[in-house]
């Protein structure tokens, strides 16, 4: 189960991601994030209410970053909870994704 | 579209003579198990987190190899971790390579040749009938490693399985591999499945070294 909301703050499109990013929700997550990246040059995924991320969820974030990169846009992962941050760190994703403690706006 | 398993096995076919190339026998066996798990993940049948594997959907994919492994997994729900499942399929000793070769033959990409060496030893070769699929896989692998851009999911998986299988030297020079080692390591650790495949190979090599030491 995942809940996605979108708002614009100081030039950033902020997509808030709540719940679980797993095989069940990964397609919905990637579709929403990629649409945000297509329509905005700066997109932040607010993960402060994301409880769980699986490999399928990580792939959604990686492919969104890929889409942003190909459009020369910015895509930032913001405020991950400690458990989600641990998964990003274990995967080495901090080396290819922009991950920050708070929102950029 | 070829499965990850077929792509990895196709990479191992020597384009000059149809021989099967592999530098690390046990590593390749583990790598092929990893490729099957990637195929199941791409088909939306399983998902993983940092340790455990979840079966999402047990309906058949239509691919005999994947469906056999999926049915095996569904029948043993007490096995939870990615590591346990890699070991389970590895020790099952199913001929994943042979099944992928049969599928590539059926698709008209390679053909099967049998001959005798010194009139006694059977020699099997799998010459390319259509070299485009292998070239496509080689190109994707090289691009994923040589570029600094984020690769597609399938290409990340391909690098992370080709590396432990020892297949990269058949696509890139040793110097290039050395130069891009950091990139290869980065791509090889992004996925839980490939991290656990690498761990399994390290554990096996360590056990083999210890048993050799005891013998000596």
Q: Which CATH architecture has domain A2-100?
A: 2-Layer Sandwich (3.30)
B148/A contact by beta carbon, under 8 A: no
Lowest mean pLDDT segment, chosen from A28-37, A48-57, B92-101, B149-158: B92-101
A54/B contact by beta carbon, under 8 A: yes
A28/B contact by beta carbon, under 8 A: no
Interior/surface letters A13-36, b for 16+ CB within 10 angstroms, e for the rest: bbbbbbebbbbbbbeebbebbbbb
Nearest CB neighbour to B44, from listed A23, A54, A93? A23
For residue B208, pLDDT beyond 80:
no
Q: Which domains does chain B have, with CATH numbers?
A: 4-215 (1.10.3630.10)
Q: What is the pLDDT of residue A80?
A: 96
Interior/surface letters B45-70, b for 16+ CB within 10 angstroms, e for the rest: bbbbbbebbbebbeeebebebbbbbb
Q: What is the pLDDT of residue B77?
A: 87
For residue range B168-205, list pLDDT tens digits in order: 999 999 999 999 999 999 999 999 999 988 888 888 87
Cα angle, residue B37 at apex, residues B35 and B42 outer, rounded to 5°: 95
For residue range B100-136, list pLDDT tens digits in order: 999 999 999 999 999 877 778 888 899 999 999 999 9
CA nearest to B150 within chain A: A66
Chain B hits for A91, CB-CB cut-off 8 Å, are 189-192
Decide: B66 and B43 in contact? Cβ < 8 Å: yes
Q: What is the pLDDT of residue B213?
A: 73
Sign of CA dihedral A85, A87, A89, A95: negative
How far lies A16's CA from each of A27, A75, A93, A103, B56, in Å? 16, 13, 19, 11, 25
pTM across the whole model? 0.91
- Which one is predicted more confidently, B212 or B54? B54
Kindly report the number of other CB atoms within 10 A of residue A41's CB atom: 13
Q: What is the DSSP letter of A48?
A: E
For residue B21, pLDDT beyond 90:
no
Q: What is the pLDDT of residue B7?
A: 96
For residue B24, pLDDT beyond 70:
no
Show the DSSP H helices in chain A as ranges: 26-39, 55-70, 82-91
């Amino acid at each position: 189960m995942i809940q996605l909301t979108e708002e614009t703050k100081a030039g950033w499109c902020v997509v808030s991601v709540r719940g679980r990013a797993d095989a069940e929700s990964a397609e919905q997550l990637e579709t929403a994030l990629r649409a945000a990246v297509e329509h905005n040059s700066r997109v932040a995924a607010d993960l402060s209410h994301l409880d769980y991320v699986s490999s399928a969820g990580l792939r959604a974030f990686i492919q969104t970053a890929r889409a942003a990169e190909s459009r020369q846009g910015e895509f930032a992962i913001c405020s991950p909870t400690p458990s989600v941050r641990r998964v990003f760190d274990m995967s080495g994703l901090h080396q290819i994704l922009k991950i920050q403690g708070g929102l950029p706006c | 579209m070829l499965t990850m398993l077929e792509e990895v096995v196709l990479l191992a076919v020597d384009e000059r003579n149809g021989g099967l190339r592999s530098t690390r026998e046990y590593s390749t066996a583990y790598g092929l198990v990893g490729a099957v798990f990637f195929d199941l993940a791409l088909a939306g049948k399983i998902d993983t987190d940092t340790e455990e594997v979840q079966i999402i959907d047990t309906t058949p994919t239509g691919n005999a190899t994947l469906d056999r492994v999926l049915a095996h997994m569904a029948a043993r729900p007490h096995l939870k971790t990615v590591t346990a499942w890699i070991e389970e399929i590895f020790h099952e000793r199913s001929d994943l390579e042979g099944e992928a070769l049969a599928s590539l033959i059926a698709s008209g990409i390679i053909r099967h040749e049998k001959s005798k060496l010194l009139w006694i030893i059977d020699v099997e070769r799998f010459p390319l009938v259509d070299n485009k699929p292998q070239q496509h896989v080689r190109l994707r692998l090289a691009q994923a490693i040589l570029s600094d851009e984020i690769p597609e999911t399938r290409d990340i998986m391909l690098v992370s399985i080709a590396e432990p299988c020892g297949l990269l030297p058949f696509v890139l020079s040793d110097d290039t591999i050395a130069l891009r080692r950091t990139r290869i390591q980065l791509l090889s650790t992004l996925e839980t499945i490939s991290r656990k495949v690498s761990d399994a190979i390290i554990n096996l090599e360590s056990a083999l070294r210890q048993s050799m030491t005891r013998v000596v």
